[in-house]
Amino acid sequence: MNDLKQYADVYYADCPVRRALDRIGDKWTVLLIGMLEEGPRRFSDLRRGVGGISQKMLTQTLRSLERDGLISRTLYAEVPPRVEYALTPLGETLCEPISAVVRWTEAHIGEVMAAQAAYDHRAQVKTTPIDGA
Amino acid sequence: MNDLKQYADVYYADCPVRRALDRIGDKWTVLLIGMLEEGPRRFSDLRRGVGGISQKMLTQTLRSLERDGLISRTLYAEVPPRVEYALTPLGETLCEPISAVVRWTEAHIGEVMAAQAAYDHRAQVKTTPIDGA
DNA sequence: CGCAATAGTCACTATAAGAGAGTTGGTCTA
DNA sequence: TAGACCAACTCTCTTATAGTGACTATTGCG
């Protein structure tokens, strides 16, 4: 009940907490926050550091995080362009909750994968043609 | 450094932890885990409880969670069909990390929204035509 | 018979992500 | 001089996923 009360708002589609949560749980957000936890980084650093992220998704996610006040973007008057991204104090408070989820996943990945294999096996068995039945 | 070591694998695009994390951070997953924390639920209950989720996304997410071993699906031999979804013991261990993220978001939503307003205001000022400059 | 219940499935549309090339201004080298 | 390089994006088109809303199957009831 106490927990349900806690979640009451996020169950409404238009809840601002819901909107914020959607972005915080976003796959790129999780990785970028984790990386910036180590200290300020430049765009290309982040791009190289997060395997599989496109320039577009990186830009988009960084802008979103900046807008949410979780990271700061420092533009230096240089050529080639130099831009640094860093966690804000607010952003730093998010590190621990996100880390907890990542740690959970790392700790339980074996069980998850075993469950997947078992599920897939059950699915395969169910679709096997029945000869002689 | 210790944290970076912790994250080393998730920064590779093909890392299984990454894949699992993507689904765990998914917006519907977060909400459904939270709801099932209160006890077993039926499909229609879940649909009504999570504002904005379509039948399709609900089905898809539930299947995915079941495959990951986080929830169980119990089919009763009844008509109309009766199916119950419940957290598995593994799924229950995920509640706390997910709750932590939700609680963080609820606690800081004011700051996030203020940051967004400020960001939008800065963006608007920057695009205002300069007359007489 | 028509309607209700439940848990989906299905086909099409809309939206977001992905892919990869282009842009800007300065510096350096052949 | 032309071309290449640098970094942080922007842009356009393609692909993938989410969203929309109707349909499905079975039984029971009025």
What does the pLDDT look like over A32-55, one tens digit per residue?
999 999 999 999 999 999 999 999
Question: Across the strands, what pairs with A86?
Answer: A72
φ/ψ of residue B2, rounded to 5: -65, -40
Q: How many Å from the CA of A90 to C1' of C19? A: 34
User: Is A84 strand, coil or helix?
Assistant: strand
Neighbours of A102 (CB within 10 A): 24
Q: Which residues, other chains included, contact B127 with Cβ-Cβ below 8 Å and sequence gap of 6+?
A: none
What's the pLDDT score for residue A127?
54
Q: How far is CA B10 from CA A99, B16, B18, B79, in A?
A: 12, 8, 5, 45
Contact yes or no for B67 and A115 at CB 8 A: yes
Helix (H) or strand (E) holding A131: none
What's the pLDDT score for residue A10?
86
- What is the rounded CA–CA span in Å between residue A23 and residue B100? 15
- Dihedral over Cα of A41, A47, A48, A53: its sign: positive
Which residues get their CB within 7 angstroms of nucleic chain C?
Answer: A 26, 52-57, 60, 79-81; B 42-45, 55-56, 59, 62, 73, 79-84
Strands A82-87 and B41-42: unpaired
Positions in chain A short of pLDDT 50: 1-8, 129-133
Nearest to B12 among A35, A51, A90 (CB): A51
Of the candidates B34, B90, B94, B75, the residue with the CA atom closest to the CA atom of residue A116:
B90
Nucleotide nearest to B61 (CA to C1'): D18
What's the pLDDT score for residue A15?
87
- What is the rounded CA–CA span in Å between residue A66 and residue A73? 7
Strands B82-87 and A71-76: unpaired
Alpha helices in chain B (DSSP H): 2-7, 16-24, 27-36, 43-49, 55-67, 89-127
Neighbours of A1 (CB within 10 A): 6
- What is the rounded CA–CA span in Å between residue B116 and residue B108? 12
ipTM: 0.86
pLDDT along chain B (133 residues), means of 10: 48 88 93 95 93 93 95 91 95 96 94 94 65 30
What's the pLDDT score for residue B13?
84
